[in-house]
Structure 1
Amino acid sequence: MKPSQRKITVALLAIPEVGAATLYGIHDVLAGVHRDWQMVHRGPAMTSPFRPLVVSRDGVPLRVGNGVLVTPDAGLADHPVPDVICVTDVMLPPEFDVRARYASEIAWLRQAWQRGATLASACSGALLLAATDLLDGFDATSHWAYCDHLARQYPRTRWNADRGLVVTGPQGRILMAGSGSSWHMLALALVARHVSAEDAMRVARINLFNLDETSPLAYASLLRSATSDPLIERCQAWAAHHYRSAAPVAKMSSLSGLSQRTFQRRFYAATGMSPLDYVHMLRLEEAKQMLESTTLSVEAIAREVGYQDVGFFSRLFKRKVSLSAVQYRNRFFALGSRLRALSA
């Protein structure tokens, strides 16, 4: 970017539940474009083509989700149309009604979009971006623990828990990062789009960002939170200890005292999944733990968690986890061993 060109304003939205690490992580990455590469190579000093700003509803300092005091650069009214608005991760549960608490912020996002801004979200920040209704009919992503709920709340959006970065919307003006450190890819995508791919690669090299495209689902816990339905919760508690048994769904149905059809319907209403899928989830989560911590063969693990058909287990594992059981072990067994050694 030539010195005469104006800077690209990126507004990073701060609300009380925002995570300071990602908020300032993206801020620092964008502020360091050109500057850091030149510094380490003893080149002439250069400033970043980006102007990252922390923006809140009123511009007043606020203490955010992890206790850090954030001092915004401006309020919403001071920057009605930044070039890019980014909503980073928020410490809110997936079912939280952001429309009620953050109507002003959601309206600001919509207005900026209508006036040409690019919108972005990282991880659970998708809660606010989805509330704009701008994702209808498009692909989207969020943290793996949020996508199921978001899919139920916004069924016209195609939620992809297995994707670390999604570029979506008209003219690709919406960028969404998925789970955890996928925000690195979001920051790099912004640099590539607004500056150059070469500069994005330099940012990745300076910051040791790993461009590994392993699906976030490989890191996900398959477990779901407990339901508020006491009868179904009792069946879940039984399944947690008996998922290895034969015909566990029939036994849960019998335990509930309901007809099988009524039980299936009520279980799905309470959990968002069928009883059989729930049993598979429990078995696969146990299999993941065993692959991380034991040297048992894949065949032995399959039988240990309740599958006599090893081929079926392998296909199911690959479909749900996005890695084969062998690939999963190769990736996570060494990590688990190192962590266990550190804790000894």
Structure 2
Amino acid sequence: MRTPARWAVATLLLPLTLTAACGTGDTTQTADGLTEVKVAPSWIAPDITWIPYTVGITNGFYKDAGLSVTLVPPPDNASSVKIVATRQADIAETTTTDQMFAAKEQLPVISIANLSQTNNWGFFAPTGKKITAAQLKGLRVGVFDDAWTKAMLGVVLKKAGLTDNDIQPITATDGNVPLLIADKIDVATNTTNFAAPQYAQQTGKQPETLLATDAGAPDIPIWNYTANKQWLQEKPDLARTWLTATAKATEWAIEHPEEAVKAYQSFHKLKPADYANDLAQWQATIPLLKGSKDELFTATDAQWTELGQALKDAGQLDEVLPPATYYTNEYITK
């Protein structure tokens, strides 16, 4: 679901504020008296969902709150929740499906806030080639190796009376929109805030889009923030402080999109050529960040129950657990 332009250089250009995925996750004080919080992003290379916490770092929102935030990049697109579960990080950006499957495995993690508030994942085809879910049969479908893609693809295929064997999955780790443009795949699975702006930037046209919600998938948040349960028990006020500072950084980034993208790019030193694409993607992300009450972060029982039932119906979960197993709003400061 990310942009390929940055993949080739991202692992070489990680800044000094990033830390290797190792350590105990214990809270420590820095030399200047700040309290350290380690955050694991959801993807193996930087993308615009990093903007809230990179802006928090570069623009001083965390420092003003007494925090020193470092990032723990995961080794692949499915490991951020595991990094938090093993206390190599305190908090992770994950997907809600990551949290569902973590609960199934009884991992000591829980969602503490929604990053986004809607399901904007779907299927993207070249301009003029509209598709339905049933028409996925036999097509080359660009996919990723993350939990969300596997889960939502399974839900949509099940609703359409298809299985994984009915499509030709082609796994990408560094973006699938270029594969779509190059006619190496027929359809890309992605999100509207990543795929559509990138396709438009590179072709001058809009792709054909089939949203998963129009093909039987639930309209629930994709990205969320997950924390280690033991860390929350030990440092509940620290979790609240981090979320409050992240909310301030997010609100600032919403109000100042151009400056936010520049701050994000300066954080991990991307080439300036990516600016237009990153700005377009961030502007497409902004409407996804707040719920019906125009507020950040807040989750509901309904979203988790609906997601759980969809995964159960698709044969991916044996049972749907009580919503409190998956999430809490306890650490969100109103």
Relative contact order (alpha carbons < 8 A, sep ≥ 6): 1 or 2 greater?
A: 2
TM range (shorter): under 0.3
Greater helix share, structure number = 1
TM-score, L = length of structure 2: 0.26
TM-score, L = length of structure 1: 0.26
Name the larger-Rg structure.
1
